Amino acid sequence: MTRTQIPALRRWGDYDRDNPYPLFAEVLEQGPVHEVTLTDGHRAFLVMGYDAAREALNHPGLSKDMEAALDAEGAVVAEGLPGRDFARHMLSVDPPDHTRLRRLATPSFTRTRLAPLEARIVETTGALLDDLEAREGPVDLVAGFALPLPFSVIGELLGVERREQERLAGWFATLMTPYPGAVPPDEAVVASGSIVDCLGDLVDRRLARPTDDLVGDLARAAKAGTITRKELMSSLFQLVVAGHHTTTSLIGNGVAALLQHPEQWETLAADPALVPQAIEELLRYDAPVPHSTFRYATSNVTIAGTEIPAGVQVVVNLATAGRDPARHDDPHELDVTRPSVDHMAFGHGIHHCLGARLARLEARIAFTALLARFPHLRLAVDHRDLRWDHGDGLVLRGLSELPVHLA
Ligand code: HEM
């Protein structure tokens, strides 16, 4: 294994969240696999760079089984999820359970099922931008656009009514607060209970009146005994989590990156046909969420020639996969005209993001609308004052605020 003297490896995660890329580059330069101590004191192995990340995400000896990891001595999988109640979903289990749970949700993410959502996304995008335009002075593009848009889309996908979406958003905001200790435990318990009740009502309504949508499919599977109630609730919970802050950060981090490189914004405004390609470049340049993803070694495994002992956590850094000099020319340059863009922002292997098509659709609509309506969009603060303080910085990394002038 590579031995480095980089002090940050002794408290991995406790680094400059506003710009961790110089540190990532320094660590990657010294090798793809490093033993680290996480900020919570746990031992882990860090996997950096494109090839090693790919190898790790394909390795059958690296598990996603969250309950097994929670039970293992000294190992805690911190995916930002609130514990065991919601721990049986496709992203926290291995095959064959993974195959069964993923298969049940897959039909909802096909092109045909997503097509009717497109018009709703366009409509919500327009309404949110109308609201922002009606305000005086600078506006916060995260609170006013990048956060509510994906939340409303996931609400539509699950069939949650508009009024209920707002309440649900509030409970999720409480439960998933990025600031440790910011929410008293009893408030978190109330929020968690309210989410269970709300999602449970949704399922019961589908059981009473079956529908051909995501919750309808899962409810039918529960009735047929193919999925347990805990798996059903965990799956819905995970879809809401996976479906909103991720896309929020793609829009927020992406707009911020473009506005920090105004010539790139202008290139896109002049040629909006470049938007799909630009989205891939933004995913490569600043892999939104998760910045890293966890695995758990169920046996001794070898990644990039380094042995990782059974029982430890493995942190796969997806961000360096997109900035690997062995894979990309000028990896630290943002270039929306880059012809073919390779990244691992949606993961790789059996857990590759099921919502990638939906996320790309939302991002395409969001960026196209922003460029068309506000071609002169600019930051309302100095770029050095932007704070990537949403999320723990290790798994989640996003802006909590993006103040902009629309015109
Ligand atoms: C899995 C990223 C949006 C649903 C993943 C994984 C990544 C990822 C990296 C794999 C994690 C791992 O292997 O540990 C993203 C990004 C998004 C995004 C960057 C937005 C830009 C969405 C959306 C949805 C979604 C909108 C659904 C509404 C899922 C699901 C999985 C997943 C269900 C689990 C797949 C499995 O375990 O088989 N996502 N995601 N994601 N994502 Fe996304």
3-state secondary structure (DSSP) of residue 75: coil
254 lines ligand 1 (CB under 6 A): no
Q: Look over the chain and give the mean of its residue pLDDT values, rounded to a whole number.
A: 89
pLDDT per residue as tens digits for the range 308-353: 999 889 999 999 999 999 999 999 999 999 988 999 999 999 999 9
260 part of a folded domain: yes
Strand partners, 161: none
Report the complex ipTM: 0.99
- DSSP helix/strand/coil, 405: strand
- Does residue 310 belong to any structural domain of this protein? yes
Question: Per the domain annotation, does 51 fall within a domain?
Answer: yes
Contacts of 55 (CB under 8 A, 6+ apart): 303, 304
Q: How confident is the model at residue 289 (pLDDT cuts 50, 70, 90)?
A: low
Evaluate: CB of 354 within 6 angstroms of ligand 1.
yes
Q: 340: which DSSP letter?
A: S
Domain count, the chain: 1
Q: How far is 253 from 259, CA to CA, in rounded Å?
A: 10
Report the candidate in 17, 13, 8 with the shortest Cα–Cα distance to residue 286. Answer: 17
Flag whether pLDDT at 88 surpasses 80.
Answer: yes
Q: What pTM was estimated for this model as a whole?
A: 0.94
10 Å CB burial of residue 266 (0-12, 13-18, 19+) is: middle
Helices (H), 3-144: 21-29, 50-58, 66-71, 97-105, 111-133, 141
Q: Is 398 in the pocket of ligand 1 (CB under 6 A)?
A: no
Structure token pair of residue 61:
């000896």
Q: What gap in Å lies between CA 22 and CA 225, rounded to an integer?
A: 50
CB 120 within 8 A of CB 156: yes
Please state, for a pLDDT cut of 70, what percent of the chain lies above it: 91
Q: Is residue 1 part of a domain?
A: no
Token pair of 5 as six digits: 């003297």
Q: Within a domain: residue 63?
A: yes
pLDDT tens digits for 71-82?
654 444 444 444
Predicted pLDDT of residue 184: 73
Domain enclosing residue 150, as ranges: 7-405
Query: Would residue 2 count as lying in a domain?
Result: no
The CATH number given to whatever domain includes residue 12 is: 1.10.630.10
* Ligand 1 close to Cβ of residue 56 (< 6 A): no
For residue 99, the CA-to-ligand 1 centroid distance in Å is 15
Q: Is residue 26 part of a domain?
A: yes
Task: Evaluate whether residue 23 is within a structural domain.
Answer: yes
Measured distance CA(241)–CA(154) in Å, rounded: 9
